[in-house]
Amino acid sequence: MAFYYDEPSHTFSEYLLVPGYSSAECIPTNVSLKTPLVRYRQGEEPSLSMNIPLVSAIMQSVSDNTMAVALAKEGGVSFIFVSQPIEEQAEMIRKVKNAKAGFVTSDANLPVDATLADVLELKARLGHSTMAVTSDGTASGKLVGLVTSRDYRVSRMSPDLPVKEFMTPIEKIIYAREGVTLSEANDIIWEHKLNALPVLREDGTLHSFVFRKDYDAHKEQPLELLDSSKRYIVGAGVNTKDYEERIPALVEAGADVLCIDSSEGYSEWQKRTLEFVRSRYGDSVKIGAGNVVDAAGFRFLADCGADFVKVGIGGGSICITRETKGIGRGQATAVIDVARARDEYFKETGIYVPICADGGIVHDYHLTLALAMGADFCMLGRYFSRFDESPTNKVLVNGSYMKEYWGEGSARARNWQRYDLGGAAKLSFEEGVDSYVPYAGSLHNNLATTLAKIRSTMCNCGALTIPELRDRAKLTLVSSVSIVEGGAHDVLLKDQANGFSR
């Protein structure tokens, strides 16, 4: 006879946190959101931690090298999507590792035969006022000159004027050589009152730029997640099909952590992938696994050597696995159950295996609930897809700007490897949709608000760290009526009174 759970599974929206005592020290600026990313033994420090408990989803519409750099600057980690050729994914990893903090690869480049019209087109398209003129028009060509907005006047110059006639030539440019430290580069910028400092290789080819405007930004990013070489930390997704070729390529490219991307992780396929990593690399390569929704799934992956375990099936905003296959579990209940198993595993073995809540996050406060319920960090797709840094197009839909967002199980992504159960190499049916999400602007500004909410709520619970929140949180189930009570009600909102809908 089938096993039946005594209680229904619940979502995050069915819970609220009950405030606890807050001391005078319990203020948001004192809150630390540092959290482990990979397993560690009792009494030891994890080899890889994050400064905020957020990672971006392994999705075509979310995580590329641009998102990875932006999120690492804030203290989190992106897992670059796996549903692409191996070399293309490895190249994205290399781009992140080459984007050394403060050293920017030039994306505004012109060939020597360019004209003023080309300058104006590039500026309109990218918004950059500093452009490199290189021998071949690429970011790695030999630097010939620089063009800034001070080098030309549109009203007095012909669009056909060659760039070499008004650019600042290399002979008049102050530059640094590859190997200069960020501190030394900033000293040169301030000493010579520069806005941009080119960094050249020994053969005169362009390596990167250091910008004056980035100095303050760098100082304002104390949570930057960097490796021992001051390069951004980056993750990458892998699958259970071509892992023997993909994983070595990603490791060689510099990936700091991997994660098996699968709709369901309680399988021999994941065991084989983890065994391959451990037999070839030992513990030097870090790899997470999942997804699971109960204690048995967690225990299986932990015993197989997973460095972290992802929790959640069918709760993503673009996921229709529950509709098409009837499998899954309410995300709150899944996190609570797996967190309990994680703690039991820690008591038995002395090994702490972090868990990641993946899916089911609709509102910012759901993040705090997930952490209170035992998650070490959360993986977000829809949340990050709304920002400038996501790889999708910004489009105008019914008068509002939107960003495209599609699931890995959709016909658009056709990531059949993620849903593979050993059958034919194809996507038999869709488990995700193709959609739009409201455009929200920059990651930095939106994330700052989200993190402020988490820190404030933690203070309401009397907690200054995520482990303290987990220990001190008091959670209550709420009724449908109390959910209504929690929002604005029994009033006429001003924007509606003026004829606008909220």
Residues annotated as catalytic are 319, 418
In whole angstroms, what is the distance from residue 3 CA to residue 1 CA? Answer: 7
User: Which residues on neighbouring strands pair with residue 413, listed in sequence order?
Assistant: none
Distance between first and last Cα of the chain: 50
Identify the residue whose tokens are 């096993």: 3
User: Which residues on neighbouring strands pair with residue 442, listed in sequence order?
Assistant: none
236 Cβ contact list (under 8 Å, min separation 6): 79, 80, 82, 89, 93, 250, 255, 257, 258, 259
Residue 96's alpha-carbon distances to 15, 16, 281, 456, in angstroms, are 38, 38, 23, 32
111 Cβ contact list (under 8 Å, min separation 6): 133, 134, 135, 136, 137
386 Cβ contact list (under 8 Å, min separation 6): 403, 405, 437, 438, 439, 440, 446
Q: Which of 294, 339, 300 is nearest to 312 (CA)?
A: 294
For residues 237-251, b (16+ Cβ closer than 10 Å) or e, as one string? bbbbbebeebbebbb
Question: Tokens for 393?
Answer: 């197009």
